[in-house]
Structure 1
Amino acid sequence: MAASLTVPERQNFIGLLQAIGDGNGRLIADRILSFSARQSCRDTAAFVREVVELSAEHCRGYGTGLDIGTVVRGVMQLMHRHGVNMDGNYATLIANMLCLEGLTKDLNPRFNVIDAAYPFLRAHQLIGDTSFQRWFTAATSLFPTAFWDLCFKVTLYGAKHGEHLKQFQI
């Protein structure tokens, strides 16, 4: 499934992934509540509180072995319970993310999608969306294939050995 995202949708979804990677339950809830302009959450404070509780138990951040599937399924149950709306593009992204996460777990149970995305999510967080897009577009055309192969290997190592990420966090 493919989705064409607006700039705010892209920034909000990437922000959700960053919040999951940081283990920030409050920000996860805020991002989820931004998934629809017509939000009908029955009790926003209760939803936020329950997402924070879920995060404290299952989403402690990069390098902690977090299972993004467990986190996302838990958040979706809370969304259903509290009547939180989600626009179609976000539903597509969530469905794709759960499918890819399940596939990676079947192929290599030690692989962690969030830990693999750490360098990209952190760079995006540090330099911002527009700068990240410009940098990444330029880098893909300037750096040789060998560089990207090395980046891939380092990312794979991080995804399989995420417990070491805590010492490098910025």
Structure 2
Amino acid sequence: FLQEDNFIHADMHPGNILVRLNESKNKRKTFFRSKPHIVFLDVGMTAELSVADRDNLKQFFKAVAIRDGRTAAKCTLRLSDNQSCPNPAAFTEELDKTFTFWGTPEGDVFHPVECMHQLLDTVRRHKVNIDGNICTVMVTILVLEGWQRKLDPRFDIMETLKTLLIEKEVKQPPPDYFG
């Protein structure tokens, strides 16, 4: 929901999510079926991101999907206004090498969640600050990815990222500036 509604529910588990089907009281077949609605319960832990943070996070996930370590590092360093990374160049170099390795046949065996854990470990070691709302998004994505892996282990999250963030962008027509 981040991309469409800028709503992040940070306590995602089956007890906090319901799917409501709008069933007609009229049992006749209806021509149009209404879409199911997702109902979130216990919304005490939620977050919203600024437009700049959302754009930066999209660029970050694009970089992750295409294994672009330099762009991922640049985006990661922008995940906080109060950045205290003592050596951004070393952080960028390490991420670039790590992402390059993940793009090789040997590195391709790492599951995307393992890659995110390695990335977050690199963030921690280099003392890169990440704002709380951004951390909420990342943790929520890791939780959802864990659910996805249990529901369908063959589902490829990286291909989905590429489709959602890259191919969708390419297919969109350019804006019509002249009316």
Rate the CA distance shift 1:34–1:127 in 2: closer, same or farther, 3 A. Answer: farther
Alpha-carbon spacing, 1:121–1:65, altered in 2? closer, same or farther (3 Å)? farther
Letter in 2 for 1:111: F
Give the aligned residue type for 2:57: F
Match of 2:33 in 1: none
Residues 10 and 35 of structure 1, relative CA distance in 2, 3 Å threshold: same
Residue 66 of structure 1: how far off its partner (Å)? 6.0
Name segments (4+ residues, structure 1) moved above 4 Å: none
Higher share in strand: 2
Gaps of 5+ in 2: 1-9, 11-45
Q: Which residue of 2 aligns with 1:69?
A: 113
Distance 1:93 1:79, change over 3 A: same
CA distance in 2, matches of 1:58, 1:98: 18
Q: Percent identity?
A: 28
| Matching residue's letter, 1:93 | V
Question: Does the C-alpha gap of structure 1 residues 110 and 53 become closer, same or farther in structure 2, counting only changes over 3 Å?
Answer: same
How far apart, in 1, do the equivalents of 2:75 and 2:110 lie?
19
**2:43 match:** none
Who is 1:165 aligned against?
none
Q: Distance in 2 between matches of 1:59 and 1:32?
A: 19
Flag the structure with higher helix content. 1
Equivalent AA in structure 1 for residue 60 of structure 2: L
Task: Work out the CA distance in 2 between the residues paired with 1:125 and 1:48.
Answer: 26
CA contact (8 A) 1:26 1:51 kept: yes
- Give the letter aligned to residue 52 of structure 1: D
Q: Structure 2 CA distance, aligned partners of 1:124 and 1:88? A: 29
CA contact (8 A) 1:25 1:51 kept: yes
Where 2:97 maps in the other structure, the secondary structure is helix
How far apart are 1:44 and its partner, in Å?
0.8
Which 5+ residue runs of structure 1 have no aligned equivalent? 132-170
Work out the CA distance in 2 between the residues paired with 1:65 and 1:11. 29
- Partner residue, 1:55: 99
Q: Which residue pairs with 2:87 in the alignment? A: 43
Q: Which residue of 2 aligns with 1:79?
A: 123
Bigger Cα Rg: 2
